[in-house]
């Protein structure tokens, strides 16, 4: 494995100082090797495990900032592991992976405490973007309360408030704003947002997402979601 300080030359987003520790838990050695090499070249200290037992051995050696966790694992599955890691007060952030791409897995994973969900197959660049957003936002720890300006979303209670006043959202509206808040500071492509709001393979009108965004803006404010024409949607990061 390459040294974690062997970063991509000129990469403005490479970690400074101590490299965040990333643990990839996947029973596919090809995925482990390729993702490990990619993240290492971008400045992260990467460990890999093929199952829960190996994962626990690595966790016992010191704190891990973020776990990239496959749903389908031999023995204890990824959802059970996610539940266990999220229950710890100092548990790592979690990005769930699943080859099935089923909406149920994504929702259950997020409800169990995962910070994000990425269906297989995925591009390494997309995983890196999501990982960076989580590490920047939470310094490597899962944060059940997300915010942007006067907007606050409590993932444990699944409640949204604006300036302290609760706002009633439909299930789709909640999924939209929750996903964009988890990705704050990153432009989310339309296809990715549709996939995470509606689910893979779900039939919907071509302008359904645009209509949904308009509904959310009407409830939470016209400026809460920015449109990047030809690229996607964005909730900007706000200063702490």
Among the ranges given (2-6, 37-41, 92-96, 233-237), the one the predictor scored with the smallest mean pLDDT: 2-6
Residues 108-134, mean pLDDT to the nearest whole number: 81
Instruction: Give tens-digit pLDDT for 143-178.
Output: 568 888 899 998 767 789 999 999 998 888 988 998
Answer yes or no: are the C-beta atoms of 239 and 195 closer than 8 Å. Answer: no
Q: 210 versus 2: which is more confidently predicted?
A: 210
- The pLDDT of residue 209 is above 70: yes
Asked if the 21-138 domain carries CATH number 3.40.50.620, the reply is no
- Check residue 7 and give its pLDDT: 38
Q: Could you tell me if 122 and 97 are in contact, meaning their C-beta atoms sit under 8 angstroms apart?
A: yes
Residue 15: band (very low, low, confident or very high) from pLDDT cuts 50, 70, 90: low
Q: Report helix, strand or coil for 116.
A: strand
Please report the pLDDT score of residue 107 as a whole number. 66
Say which DSSP state 141 is in: B
Question: pLDDT band for position 6 (50/70/90)?
Answer: very low
As a CATH number, domain 145-233 is 1.10.10.10
Residue 125's pLDDT band (boundaries 50, 70, 90)?
A: confident
Please give the torsion angle defined by the CA atoms of residues 221, 140, 47 and 61, in that order, rounded to the nearest 10 degrees.
-160
Those residues whose C-beta lies under 8 Å from the C-beta of residue 111, and which sit 6 or more positions away, are: none
In terms of average pLDDT, the best of 12-16, 72-76, 182-186 is: 72-76
Answer whether 94's CB lies under 8 Å from 67's CB: yes
For residues 197 and 212, the answer to whether their CB atoms sit within 8 Å is yes
pLDDT beyond 60 at 4: no
- Mean pLDDT (the chain, rounded): 81
* Residue 2 pLDDT level (bands cut at 50, 70, 90): very low
Q: How far is CA 198 from the centre of its chain?
A: 17
Question: Is residue 207's pLDDT more than 50?
Answer: yes
Domain boundaries, the chain: 21-138, 145-233
Q: Of 10-24, 126-140, 178-192, which has the strongest mean pLDDT? A: 178-192
Q: Reply yes or no on whether the pLDDT at 10 is more than 60.
A: no
116-119: strand order across its sheet: 45-49, 21-25, 66-70, 93-98, 116-119
Task: Locate all alpha helices (DSSP H) within the chain, ordered by sequence.
Answer: 29-41, 52-59, 78-87, 103-111, 124-138, 171-182, 190-198, 208-220
What whole-number distance in Å separates Cα of residue 142 and Cα of residue 159? Answer: 17
Most confident of 15-29, 65-79, 154-168: 65-79
Measure the CA–CA gap between 177 and 197, rounded to whole angstroms: 9
Give residue-wise pLDDT tens across range 74-105: 999 998 999 899 888 778 889 988 875 555 66
Confidence of residue 51 (pLDDT cuts 50, 70, 90): very high
């Amino acid at each position: 494995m390459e040294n974690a300080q062997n970063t991509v030359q000129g990469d403005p987003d490479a970690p400074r100082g101590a490299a965040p520790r990333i643990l990839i838990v996947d029973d596919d050695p090809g995925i482990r090797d390729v993702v490990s090499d990619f993240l290492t070249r971008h400045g992260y200290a990467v460990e890999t495990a093929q199952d829960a037992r190996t994962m626990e051995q690595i966790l016992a050696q010191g704190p891990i900032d973020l776990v990239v966790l496959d749903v389908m694992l031999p023995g204890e599955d990824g959802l059970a592991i996610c539940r266990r890691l999220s229950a710890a007060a100092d548990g790592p952030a979690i990005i769930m992976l699943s080859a099935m791409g089923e909406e149920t897995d994504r929702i259950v994973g997020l409800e169990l405490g995962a910070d994000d969900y990425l269906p297989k197959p995925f591009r390494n660049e997309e995983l890196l973007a999501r990982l960076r957003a989580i590490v920047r936002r939470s310094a490597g720890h899962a944060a059940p309360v997300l915010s942007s300006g006067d907007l606050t979303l409590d993932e444990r209670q699944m409640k949204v408030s604006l300036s302290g006043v609760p706002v009633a959202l439909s299930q789709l509206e909640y999924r939209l704003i929750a996903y964009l808040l988890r990705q704050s500071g990153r432009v989310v492509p339309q296809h990715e947002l549709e996939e995470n709001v509606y689910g893979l393979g779900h039939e919907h009108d071509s302008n359904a997402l645009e209509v949904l965004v308009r509904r959310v803006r009407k409830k939470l404010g016209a400026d809460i979601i920015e449109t990047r024409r030809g690229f996607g949607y964005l909730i900007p990061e706000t200063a702490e």
